[in-house]
Structure 1
Amino acid sequence: MFINVSADNIAVHPEWPRPSEDLIQAIAAFPPALIGDVRNRLDMMSADIRCLTPGAKLAGAILPVQVWEGDNLAIHRGLDEAKPGDVLVISGNGVTNRSVFGGILAEICLSKGVTGVIIDGAVRDIEEINEMGLALYAKATVPAGPSKNGPGAVGKPVACGNVVCNPGDIVIGDQDGIVVIPQSEALETLKRLPHQEDVERQIRDRVKAAAVN
């Protein structure tokens, strides 16, 4: 960690398998809305988890972090476990009166190759983070900073935006929002996406043809 604080009360779960980058990028070629349709419109985070970095897109393997309300010690500890291509998915229990993520943590994320951050809670330093180019989704912004006392957990399944997020699941985000694909269902989801895309293309083609006639 880059802070001189004991993290003994942060539970760090054993290493977990991550999906291949090729699989992640193949799914990320499709928008979350289409992925959600293929998945029976399930596993999409609630609308209050919104993109705070305009134009940003996000794709990666989930590194879940559970924080104590208004505390970000577990995030600092979690970044020690981060690998390039990970997305931090942080459960802050929906609390928005204190930020648990800001510019310094964003810098650490970029140095570790983390591709994005999703927080069921609040953030700050949003203008600075926008300039950095890190994709960031959260419920709110607030200037009040966090404590760093713990407890918390890293690598344990968390609930974020009303979706259960397991370590190594795939997460895709754009300006519409976030969809989560369980790692065990990723290949099957990918197989079904081209057909759904083709169905929608055919509908659009019929609409255009009718307009011409």
Structure 2
Amino acid sequence: MLEEPPILRIRRGFPRPTAAQIEAFRGVPTGFVCDAMNGAGSLDTAIAPIGAATTSGPVVGTAVVADNGPAEILATMAALSLVQEGDILLSAVHGYQGTSACGDLILGMMKNNGVTAFVTDGPMRDVEGIEEVGLPAWCTGLNPNSPYSKGPGAVGDAAVIGGQRVASGDIIVADRSGVVVIPHAKINETIKALEAVKAAEAAFEAKVKGGAKTFFDLDAMVAEGKAIWID
């Protein structure tokens, strides 16, 4: 007879980014990070800021993934025993919208553990309490229905959240524009590309502030045969 499997799988030994790698993304807007990864890396636009995240600047931290599954919260609860100060806890509920993925009390426990932010592909509840806790969070909306804590669930591994595979040990950068995942294996190359992005953005910003109004000289493009007037 097949034995009942454990209701929780917990991976503690995932590779973590260094403090210097985390610091390289401190204060960097999500748009810059996406540009450094060839224009990609953001979670689905349905995952939006709530509470303190609507007014705070960019946050950055190490991803700790709690793969709960639909209508579940067991893995998120267990992750509270695994997170370290500065981590960002991500709850995967496989996009399920029928119950909340987290409320203000668990969010408060995350803050007590030094967690930097919370991200989920499901709704949250207790919006007044979320605002009072003051921990930046990103979710798909609000739903007061209660989740279950029966499992199964997994902590410290990987899950698909908002259309992106997120693994524990990746770097997360989040701001009012969205949430971006930097895979652990691509951290250093993204940091290197980010320097060029910052320089290009600064140069372009200077042009705009200097009065620039257009991208192209259309007359020159017509003369070169790259464009044609049709009127």
State if a TM-score over 0.5 links the two structures.
yes
Measured against aligned partners, the alpha-carbon deviations of 1:127-180 in whole angstroms (never above 9, x if no partner) come to 211221101001121111111111111112111110100110000000000111
CA drift at 1:210: 3.9
Tell me the equivalent position of 1:55: 55
| 2-structure distance, mates of 1:155, 1:208 | 45
CA distance 1:83–1:208, shift in 2 (3 Å)? closer
| 2-structure distance, mates of 1:182, 1:140 | 26
| 1-structure distance, mates of 2:130, 2:68 | 21
Q: Does 1:13 align with 2:14?
A: no
- Does the Cα contact within 8 Å between 1:101 and 1:124 map onto a contact in 2? yes
| 1-structure distance, mates of 2:76, 2:204 | 45
- Give the fraction of aligned pairs with identical amino acids, expressed as a percent: 28
| 2-structure distance, mates of 1:190, 1:132 | 32
CA drift at 1:98: 0.5
The alignment's C-alpha RMSD in Å is: 1.6
Report 1:5-84 matches (<5 A): 8-53=6-51, 54-56=54-56, 57-84=58-85
Measured against aligned partners, the alpha-carbon deviations of 1:94-124 in whole angstroms (never above 9, x if no partner) come to 1111012011211210111111110011111
| 2-structure distance, mates of 1:130, 1:26 | 29
* Structure 1, unpaired ranges of 5+: 1-7
CA drift at 1:22: 2.9
Greater CA drift, 184-193 or 173-182: 184-193
Tell me the equivalent position of 1:190: 191
Q: Secondary structure at the match of 1:118?
A: strand
- Does the Cα contact within 8 Å between 1:62 and 1:89 map onto a contact in 2? yes
| 2-structure distance, mates of 1:20, 1:26 | 10
| 1-structure distance, mates of 2:130, 2:212 | 44
CA drift at 1:211: 5.6
| 1-structure distance, mates of 2:137, 2:211 | 41
- Does the Cα contact within 8 Å between 1:21 and 1:85 map onto a contact in 2? no
Tell me the equivalent position of 1:168: 169
| 1-structure distance, mates of 2:61, 2:212 | 40
Q: Secondary structure at the match of 2:123?
A: strand
- Does the Cα contact within 8 Å between 1:96 and 1:141 map onto a contact in 2? no
- Paired residue type of 1:111: N
Q: How many residues align?
A: 205
| 2-structure distance, mates of 1:208, 1:111 | 43
CA drift at 1:20: 2.1
- Does the Cα contact within 8 Å between 1:51 and 1:138 map onto a contact in 2? yes
* Structure 2, unpaired ranges of 5+: 1-5, 214-231
- Does the Cα contact within 8 Å between 1:30 and 1:193 map onto a contact in 2? no
CA drift at 1:187: 1.7
Q: Secondary structure at the match of 1:28?
A: coil
| 2-structure distance, mates of 1:148, 1:66 | 12
CA distance 1:9–1:211, shift in 2 (3 Å)? closer
- Does the Cα contact within 8 Å between 1:88 and 1:117 map onto a contact in 2? yes
